[in-house]
Structure formats: C-alpha cells, structure tokens
Structure 1
Amino acid sequence: MGDIFTAVFGSEAEEQYILQCMSYILIFMAGATFLTLLFENVPYGRYATSKYGFPVNVKLAWFVQELPAFVLPVFLVLKSSAAQLSETANRFLIAMYFCHYVHRSLVYPFLIRGGKPTPFFSFALAFVFCIYNGYLQIRHLSHFAEYPKDWVRHPWFIAGFVLWLLGWLVNVHSDHILRNLRKPGETGYKIPVGGMFEYVSGANFLGEIVEWSGFALAAHSIHSAAFAIFTFVVLSSRAVAHHKWYLAKFEDYPKSRKALIPFVF
C-alpha cells in the first residue's frame, strides 16, 4: 500500500501536503457553491430538471453515488499498516465516519419509497465528491493524524462526539419520518410532523450538519473542518429552499417553524 502512494506522491510528506491542499480546495468549493446556490437549487429531488442530464433511478443513484465513500475508505483502512490505526482516537473517529456511510450507502438507498429520479449531473457530482472526501478524511485519519494519548477524554473530543451522535440520531430519525409521510398507494407531498420537524423544515439537514460539525470538533483538523463547512453550505441552502417551498405550497404550514435553526432561522 505504501508503495502505491509513494509512486503517486513521491513521499509521505508530499502526500500529507496534498491532503492539506485538498482541504483548502474543498473550502474554496464551499464558497463557490454558496454563490451558485444563491441563484440555483441543488438539482435533485423536487428541484430536479431535465437540463441537468438524463434521469437516474433514485435508489440506484443514491446507492452508487454514496458507495465510494464506504468502499474506498474500507480499502484504505484494510491496506494501511500505519501506527495511527492502533490509536484509540483514530479508531473512534474512523468508526464515526463509517457509522454514517454504512447507513447512507448500504441501508438508506433501499429504504427509499418512490422519489423522483436524480439528474445525471447531480449524480456524477455526488459520486466524485464521495471519492474525493472519502480519501481525504480516511487517509488522513488512518495514516497521518496524530492525537495525544488521552484525546478521547479531552473536552473537545467529548463535545464533538456528543454533537455527532445527536446529529446522527436526528438525521436518521428525520429520514424515517419523511419515508413514512405517505401511506401505501398515496402520492404527492405532505407536511412532515414529529421529531425536529416540529421546529424546523430541514430537520434531516440540521441533523447531518450537526453530525459533521461534531465530527470536525472531535477530529480537530483542517480536513474535517473543510467537510463540515461544505456540508453546511450545501444543506443549509437546501433547508432554506425546502422551507420556502413548504410555505408556498401549503397554506396551513406551521408559521412558527423555522428553516434550519429552531426558534432562530
């Protein structure tokens, strides 16, 4: 494994530098995405249009586009012999990452009920992102990240883990609510109720934002921070778009419900 990366990057120092550059590029892309999303919604789901390419079955799209975020990191971990893999903090953080993507790539796609096809452009971008970010996060954690021996007892790690766990639970529960809005045979959109949907329109997005923000706090690196920033930009924009859509579509939509942050925004 080391020979493969040595052949590609020349040295571990060079690869570590490339990983840092990838993190800053991801932050730059978050800024560019923010500007783009001021004028255009992310084109999938209810915002899908034919101008972004031919439609891909929604279950197939979610499965294939998310799979690299699981398969590539598994390969990186199994083939790595770095000392970092024996450290508790590194193992914990890698497990947090996998907890999300095992569900997102191997469980979530097969639970989808109905759903509009995904435009190929959106599908392709998500596929590339999962490769990019999967390599960035897990290669850093499995080969380069160094933490103090007692890092898992540090307040930052504990706070980050608690946030990650809460975010993951909110995300999974909110997805469950959305899947069960319609009874068998029903079509069309309904107002989601229960859980964090009582407070915000984008409960599932809020959960994932909190999840990766907690991960970034626990991992304490530019690599994880870049992921959290990119996630916030994309999902906060989608939450705002959903909120406006719900208000326009349903006259009885709860006026006290916010877009993303309970009681605030």
Structure 2
Amino acid sequence: MDSILSALFSSPEEEQHVLDWMAYSMLLMAAYTFISLLFVNVPYGRYSSSAYGFPVNAKLAWFVQELPAFLLPVCLLVWASSARSSHLANQMLIAMFICHYAQRSLIYPFLIRGGKPTPFLSFFLAFVFCLYNGFMQIRYLSHYAEYPADWATHPFFVAGCVLWLFGWLTNLHSDHILRNLRGPGETGYKIPRGGMFKYVSGANFFGEITEWVGFALAGQSVHSAAFAVFTVVVLSSRAFAHHKWYLAKFEDYPKDRKAFIPFLI
C-alpha cells in the first residue's frame, strides 16, 4: 500500500498537503450541504423519493455504503508501515474511528427491521463520502499526525475520548430503542421513548454528533474537525426534520423535547 501511494505522490510532504486540502474541501462541502439542506431533506428513510434514483434495499445500502470507512482503513493499516501507528494517541483515535464503522457496516445493517429502500443517489453519495473520509482520517492519523508524548493524558484528549464513548453508547442505545418500537406484526410510526429520547427527537443523531465532536477534540486536527462539522450539518438537519415531523404527526408528542441538543435546540 505504501508503495502504491508513494507512486502517486513525489514526497510525504506532498501527500500531507493533499490530505490537508481534502479536509478543507470537506469544510466547503459542509457549507454547500448546509445551504442545500435548508431547502430539501436528506432523501432516505421516511423522506425517500424516486426522484433521487432507483431504490436500493436498506440493509444492502447501509452495508455497502458504510463498508469503505471500515475496510479501507483496515487495509491501510495492514499493508502500510508507519511509526505514527505505534503512538498511543494515534492508536486510540484510529480505534475510535474503526470501532464506529465496524459496528455501522458489519452489525447495524443486519439488525435493521424492514426499513424503507434508499434512493440510489443517497446511497452513492454516502459510499463516496465514507471512502473519502476513511482514507483521509486514517492515512493522516497513521502517517502524519504528531502528538506530544503525553497527549494521551492531556485534558483535551481525555475529554474527547469520554465524549466519543458517551456518544457511541448513546447512538447504540438509541438505535436499539428505534428498532424495538414496533411489536411483531405491527406497522406504522410510534413515538420513541426512553434514553436520550426523553430529551431530544434525534437521540441517535445527537449520539453520533457527540462522537465526532469528541473525536475532533481529541484529535485536534483540521481533518477531524472537518468530519465533525460535516456530521453536525447533515445530522442536525435530519434531527430538525424528524422533530418537525413528529410534532405534526402526533398530537401527544412531548412538547418539551428539543430537536437534537437537550434543553437547548
């Protein structure tokens, strides 16, 4: 893998420059996405539309689109060598990223009960993003991210790791609640209750946003920050849309719930 990438770049400095510009480009994508989502919901799930391409089975879509963010980083680590990968802070950040996407690609899709098909465009864009982001994050962390020897005990790193773990567990628990809303043979939507759903309509989105904000706090790089910003843009829009939809559909929907930040928004 190193030899292939070395053939693409004339020097490590050039590759790091490209990785930096990938992060800046993601920030630009986040700005464009923010503006776009003011006018349209992300077209999957309850907002699916045939206008965005032919439907892809929900389980297959989740598995295939998330897999690059797990498989590519693993390949980069197995077939590449770098002293950075032996540093504790780098290892922990890499582990956070791979842990999330191992669950998201290898476990989550097969737990889905039913699920509306995903329009091809949404599926394709998610696949490209996972490929792009998976390479950028792990290549940077394994080869170019330099941290002080004691960074793993720095308050920012510790706080970031705690936030990531809290967000990851919240995301898993919220998904569990959503999967079990309907009993055998039941159809239709129900109000999710329990866990962080007591406070926000988008508890699963809140969990994932918290994960990547924690990751960015611990990583202290434009690469991790760009990922966190992009996640906030996409998932906060999704949370607001869900909140509005729940309020319109259910007369008894808890009026004190916020969209995605407890007690605030």
Structure-1-length-normalised TM-score: 0.99
For residues 8-50 of structure 1, what are the alpha-carbon distances to aligned partners after superposition, in whole Å with 9 as ceiling and x for unaligned?
1221111100000000000000000000000000000000000
Paired residue for 1:240? 240
Could you list the structure 1 runs, at least 4 aligned residues long, displaced by more than 6 angstroms after superposition: none
Find the counterpart in structure 1 of residue 55 from structure 2: 55
Aligned to 2:176, the other structure's residue is in SS state helix
SS where residue 162 of structure 2 aligns?
Answer: helix
Alpha carbons 1:45, 1:117 under 8 Å: kept: yes
The CA deviation at 1:219 is 0.7
Q: Where does residue 10 of structure 1 map in the other structure? A: 10
Aligned pairs, how many?
265
* DSSP-derived class of the 2:40 partner: coil
Contact 1:202 1:260 in 2 (8 A): yes
Identity of aligned residues (%): 71
Per the alignment, residue 78 of structure 1 pairs with 78
Structure 1 position 2, deviation (Å): 2.4
SS for the counterpart of 1:29 is helix
Q: Which residue of 1 aligns with 2:222?
A: 222
Q: Which residue of 1 aligns with 2:202?
A: 202
Q: Distance in 2 between matches of 1:63 and 1:4?
A: 27
Contact 1:44 1:118 in 2 (8 A): yes
In structure 1, the residue matched to 2:167 is: 167
Structure 2: which 5+ residue stretches go unaligned?
Answer: none
CA–CA distance in structure 1, aligned partners of residues 121 and 96 of structure 2: 29
* Counterpart-to-counterpart distance in 2, 1:217 and 1:56: 35
Indicate conservation of the 8 Å contact 1:171/1:204, yes or no: yes
2:132: which partner in 1?
132
How much has 1:85 moved relative to structure 2?
A: 1.0
Please give the alpha-carbon distance, in whole angstroms, between the structure 2 residues aligned to 1:156 and 1:44: 35
- Paired residues of 1:80 and 1:143 also in contact (CA < 8 A): no
Distance 2:114 2:2 in 1: 44
Partners in 2 of 1:86 and 1:198 — Cα distance?
Answer: 41
Q: Say if 1:44 and 1:122, in contact at 8 Å, map to a contact too.
A: yes
Partner AA of 2:133 in structure 1: N
Partner of 2:109: 109
Q: Does 1:182 align with 2:182?
A: yes
Counterpart of 2:178, as a letter, is L
* Distance across 2 between alignment mates of 1:12 and 1:3: 12
Q: Which runs of 5+ in 1 are unaligned?
A: none
Counterpart in the other structure of 2:192:
192
Residues in 2 aligned to 1:130 and 1:54: alpha-carbon distance in whole angstroms:
21
Which letter maps to 2:72?
L
Output the CA distance in 2 between the equivalents of 1:2 and 1:127: 24
Distance 1:248 1:17 in 2: 48
Report the 3-state secondary structure (helix = DSSP H, G, I; strand = E; otherwise coil) of the residue aligned with 1:187: coil
| 1:213 is the counterpart of 2:213 | yes
Is the contact between residue 90 and residue 141 of structure 1 (CA under 8 Å) also seen in structure 2? yes
State the AA in 2 paired with 1:209: I
